Amino acid sequence: MPKPAAAPDLFDQEAAALERALRARDDPALSAAQCRDALGELIVHFERLMRESRRLIRRSDREERELNELNGELHRLAAQLEYKARHDSLTGALNRGAIFDRAGRLLECGPLALVVLDIDFFKSINDEFGHPAGDAVICEVVNRLRGAVPGAAEIGRVGGEEFSILLPDADFDAALQSAEAMRQAIAGQPFDCLPGRVVTASFGVSRTARHGDFGDAYARADEALFEAKRGGRNQVRGGHAED
């Protein structure tokens, strides 16, 4: 069986020129003209190799830059996808899954106070002014919450007009005070997106000890929120605080 043909050597011509130059160097019988011819041939091939090497280096540098740009773009896209997976697209607040996950992680480290709130009469806002105005109200509520919550707090949108605020390590009284500050921030002045209309929200607060169950904490805060609704809205109610 015949042997497969060897792969062609890209430097066959250069290798042959080098071999002839070496023979010329070692052959005392060659004339000076023959030696110059051998050297000239070697120079020609060397110059070609230099040009090709420079071209390949430039191409390699360009491809490396392009690869770095693509890698950077992949990292940016991955970060965007991760952000979108964890944040509400309308307000930029954490979404329901992310805020619940974050609450569970915080409870592994220490106690957690929870504030839940619901915009009062939100359906009537949508019915009277339209859904774009309703979206604008939701965004403004989140903006006002951001200006009112403590620095360590985290805001999540858990439903259409429902929000949860996590207050790590806050005691129950401090959480009630924070909720009252949020209530005042929302109700304190009319919303620009509604013609002279004040928007209010109702609040429920609970506190859970370290390693507590967030589902239970949410249920207690949610019950307090319904008490605030039944009590006339635009108020803060506290649920049972777990030590």
Catalytic residue among 41, 128, 154, 161: 161
Per-residue confidence (pLDDT) for residue 8, from 0 to 100: 55
Residues 155-167, mean pLDDT to the nearest whole number: 97
Report the DSSP pairing between strands 236-241 and 201-208: parallel
Alpha carbon of residue 149 to chain centroid: 22
Tokens of 119: 């915009």
Q: Is 161 a catalytic residue?
A: yes
Q: Please name the residues in contact with 101: beta carbons below 8 A apart, sequence gap of 6 or more.
A: none
Per-residue pLDDT tens digits for 197-208 = 999 999 999 999
Interatomic CA distance for residues 17 and 38, integer angstroms: 7
> pLDDT at residue 73 above 70?
yes
Per-residue pLDDT tens digits for 23-58 = 777 778 778 888 788 778 878 878 887 888 888 888
Residues listed for the chain: 243
**What is the value of pTM for the model shown?**
0.73
